[in-house]
């Protein structure tokens, strides 16, 4: 008999209960980090390709791939990450724009009031939830990039594989650049959330 249950406790966070014990999964489609008594396992994959990477076990589905083909798969995965990452900043701007309008509405008209602060507080909760969803997606990007970099650095090539080595080097550098961009976005999100919290506190003091 098998018993397994998944409980979603927050966006991108799940508790897994089974006969073997309890574990926590972080992330979503394409990248997951699993925390259990056995340790930490990071898994990323290219949807639809049948190829995935587990930090503890190595690439599954890649054993029969030639190095050139595997590098192509890494290139596709990095392209997917880049496309996903490029959509994050507009999402941040959209949430921030809605919050700025909420602040303008609170300050406008006849000025601050208890009723208007109640509405602003709800807008604050919504904004924080949206920022959290973006941070969850950023965490997925980080997990994927760490796994990809690890696999790329571990790949070995023959003596006459200069072009493949050059491609490997380029992909490693590209993953580092993406990683730097992700870290910058993490810092920006932290700063934005702090600013929004300060604006809410200032609004509360004004009534």
The top-scoring range by mean pLDDT among 64-73, 75-84, 93-102 is: 93-102
For residue 64, what are the CA distances in angstroms to 30, 68, 69? 22, 12, 10
The pLDDT value given to residue 7: 52
Highest mean pLDDT among 9-18, 34-43, 183-192: 183-192
For residue 110 the two structure tokens come to 């006849």
Mean pLDDT lowest for which of 18-22, 56-60, 179-183, 193-197?
A: 56-60
Instruction: Give the residue from 59, 60, 199 showing the smallest Cα distance to 123.
Output: 199
Please give the pLDDT value at position 1: 38
pTM: 0.69
Whole-angstrom CA distances from 58 to 9, 26, 113 are: 29, 19, 58
What's the pLDDT at 192? 96
For residue 91, name the pLDDT band (cuts at 50, 70, 90): very high
Sign of CA pseudo-dihedral 39, 74, 173, 190: negative
Compute the average pLDDT of residues 174-186.
Answer: 91
Phi, then psi, of 33 in degrees rounded to 5: -115, 125
Reported as type and span, the H/E element at residue 90 is: helix 88-107
Q: Write the pLDDT tens digit of every residue in 102-138.
A: 999 999 999 999 999 999 999 999 999 999 999 988 8
């Amino acid at each position: 008999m098998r018993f397994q249950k998944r409980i979603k406790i927050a966006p991108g966070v799940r508790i897994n209960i089974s006969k073997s014990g309890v574990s926590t999964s972080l992330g979503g489609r394409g990248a997951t980090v699993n925390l259990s008594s056995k340790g930490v396992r990071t898994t990323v994959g290219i949807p639809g390709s049948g190829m995935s990477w587990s930090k503890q076990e190595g690439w599954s589905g890649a054993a029969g791939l030639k190095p050139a083909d595997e590098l192509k798969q890494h290139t596709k995965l990095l392209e997917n990450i880049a496309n996903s990452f490029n959509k994050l900043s507009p999402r941040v701007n959209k949430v921030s724009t809605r919050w700025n309008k909420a602040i303008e509405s609170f300050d406008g008209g006849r000025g601050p009031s208890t009723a208007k602060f109640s509405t602003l507080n709800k807008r604050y909760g919504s904004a924080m939830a949206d920022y959290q969803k973006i941070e969850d997606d950023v965490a997925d990007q980080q997990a994927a990039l760490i796994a990809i970099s690890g696999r790329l650095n571990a790949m070995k090539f023959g003596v006459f594989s200069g072009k493949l080595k050059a491609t490997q080097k380029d992909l490693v550098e590209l993953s580092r650049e993406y990683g730097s961009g992700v870290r910058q976005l993490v810092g920006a999100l932290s700063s934005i959330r702090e600013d929004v919290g300060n604006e809410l506190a200032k609004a509360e003091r004004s009534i």
